[in-house]
Amino acid sequence: MTVTIRKARPGDVAIVAEFNRLLAAESEGKTLDLAVLEPGVAAVLADEQKGLYFLAEEAGRPVGQVGLTFEFSDWRNGWFWWIQSVYVRPEARRKGVFRSLYSYIEELARRDPTVAGLRLYVEENNTTAHQTYYNLWMTRTGYFVLEKCPLLDRDTPRSSLG
């Protein structure tokens, strides 16, 4: 499959939000609130300091996306680009869409001397994605991710967190 890669623009809110909605449903069984998701995507597309999205298109039709956010590492005096919101339409999978997106982003990172590396997180049980990332010479780190979201007070019963 031949795709072109481009940076998403403010007019792409609907497709990026839809890809994120589909990603959450498929990968985590979560239903995202569009009243929160769409303004969140719009905020990123309006302010590159919040992040970036890139779209893969075949014949002008979006078939995949990757998001980036940024973390500065004082240990490395450089930026890590976090790959996020990876989604490829089911009919376009296993046809090189993600590889094209990844290669595009890796080349951008290599040309920027302030970038120390690329990172991503992936669902533990998504072994297909693991293999895809290993095939791109990414390696597993010794970290695992913890979070506190939403930020509730300590009096909230743990049983209500789902």
Mean pLDDT of 29-56: 97
- 27 pLDDT band (50/70/90 cuts)? confident
Q: CB-based contacts of 1: which residues, under 8 Å, 6+ apart? A: 58, 63, 92, 95, 96, 97
**Cα torsion angle, 50, 84, 9, 104, sign:** positive
| Whole-structure pTM value | 0.84
The gap from C-alpha 156 to its chain's centroid, in whole angstroms, comes to 30
CA pair distance 152, 135, nearest whole angstrom:
39
Name, in order, each residue with C-beta under 8 angstroms of 16's C-beta and a sequence gap of 6 or more: 8, 41, 45, 53, 55, 65, 67, 85
d(CA 40, CA 84): 14
**Does residue 159 have a pLDDT over 70?**
no
Domain 4-161 has CATH 3.40.50.720: no
- Whether residue 41 is predicted with pLDDT greater than 90 in this model: the reply is yes
Cβ-based neighbour number of residue 38 at 10 Å? 18
Q: What is the pLDDT of residue 138?
A: 67
Span between the terminal Cα atoms of the chain, in Å:
40
Q: How far apart are CA 13 and CA 15, in angstroms?
A: 6
E strand or H helix at 55: strand 52-58
Question: Would you state the pLDDT for residue 147?
Answer: 72
Residue 37, judged by CB atoms within 10 A of its CB (0-12, 13-18, 19+), counts as middle
Q: For position 44, what pLDDT does the model report?
A: 98
- According to the model, what pLDDT value does residue 155 have? 67
Q: Average pLDDT for residues 40-51, to the nearest whole number?
A: 97
For 63-75, what is the mean pLDDT? Answer: 97
pLDDT on residue 149: 75
Would you place residue 151 in the very low, low, confident or very high pLDDT band (cuts 50, 70, 90)? confident
Task: Check residue 158 and give its pLDDT.
Answer: 61
